[in-house]
Amino acid sequence: MKRNGSAGILGTGHYVPEKELTNFELETMVDTTDEWIRTRTGIETRHIASPEENTSDLCVNAAQKALEMANITAEEIDFVMVATASPDYVVPSTACLVQNKMGMTKAGAMDISAGCTGYIYALTTAASMVQAGIYKYVLIIGAEILSRLVDWQDRSTCILFGDGAGAAVIGPAEEGFGLLSSDLGSDGSFGNILNIPASGVAERVSHESIDDRRIYIHMDGQDVFKAAVRHMENTTMTALGKAGLTGKDIDMFIAHQANDRIIQALGKKLEIPDEKLFVNVNRYGNTSAASVGIALDEAVRSGRVKHGNNVVLTGFGAGLTWGSDVMRWI
């Protein structure tokens, strides 16, 4: 087994469903207003999957674009990882469904459950596989259909989330480019501030749990907000330190797109100017594990990420989990 040394992103892609749900439409569904949502979250609209679409379908659409950019065929992919909190099934994994749908005949496959930090966990894992010489090309996808897991009667959560997928192909990189450092963390003692109570074997789905609406996302918004800012700041500084960089060296900073107030607070704490902050939460809402991948693809395709740029990804999610990746763009 020959070590490759460096690994980085060779291509990116994203996909969001066609249907949009605006704040004004939400006004007719729950007791809320466009102004209230915009001032507290920055969200204006979000995309909602059609009844015919499943998470694996969103994955395939995003992955095809990433493969095209990377100039890699599905048959060349050695391993595929899907980060999601909304899989098609508990078993089989959504990654196995994607492997089959895309004809990745030689690829291993697994799902990653790290909440909204899933894409960053997948990127770190994939790059490690390539750096170690275990695999040459790894496909990672963060994808969610959270519209089927939110309580559409709960105005505190249903306004926040949207559906989508972001993908990337990870492969060998020139020395000094690609992933420079990463930092991953967790704290399971706060798992109950963002969870779906009846979603596994600890609390089974029953008539009672359905009536109590425990089959949907439950979130303590204030605690999540405070923890998100604190942990994303710390993990970003840790990852930058490992790479021998400071906040002033960042060319593009992409945080998990949960809430514009969180992103702005983070940018202020890290002293990152607005032009180096990427924000698209206004158009997509919180797409959980998909958000960083969608934002990165948009940044790349719009020309805001260029060869040699120092790009930092950071995320925070259910678990609790958090993490950051520092890259020098190929």
Closest C-alpha among 313, 297, 8 to residue 178? 8
- The residue behind tokens 């704290």 is 187
Q: Which of 120, 153, 176 is at the close of a domain?
A: 176
Q: Which of 176, 195, 220 is at the close of a domain?
A: 176
Closest C-alpha among 229, 42, 73, 216 to residue 139? 73
Residues 160 and 16 in one domain: yes
Distance CA 301, CA 278 (A): 13
Q: Is residue 19 part of a domain?
A: yes
Residues 58 and 138 in one domain: yes
Residue in 54, 61, 259, 286 annotated catalytic? 286
Would you call 256 a catalytic residue per the annotation?
Answer: yes
| Domain limits for position 317 | 179-328
Would you call 286 a catalytic residue per the annotation?
Answer: yes
Residues 131 and 249 in one domain: no
Residues 28 and 168 in one domain: yes
Tell me the CATH number at 67.
3.40.47.10
- Residue ranges, the chain, pLDDT below 50: none
Do 96 and 266 meet the contact criterion of CB atoms below 8 Å apart?
no
Would you call 158 a catalytic residue per the annotation?
Answer: no
Distance CA 177, CA 308 (A): 7
Which amino acid belongs to residue 189? S
Residues 158 and 296 in one domain: no
| Domains in the chain, number | 2
Residues 201 and 147 in one domain: no
Residue in 59, 116, 231, 310 annotated catalytic? 116
- Output the pLDDT for position 2: 59
Whether the upstream peptide bond of residue 51 has omega within 30° of 0, thus cis, is: no
Residues 136 and 183 in one domain: no
Residue in 14, 256, 259, 310 annotated catalytic? 256
- Output the pLDDT for position 287: 98
Residues 83 and 212 in one domain: no
Burial (CB < 10 A; 0-12, 13-18, 19+), residue 309, is: middle
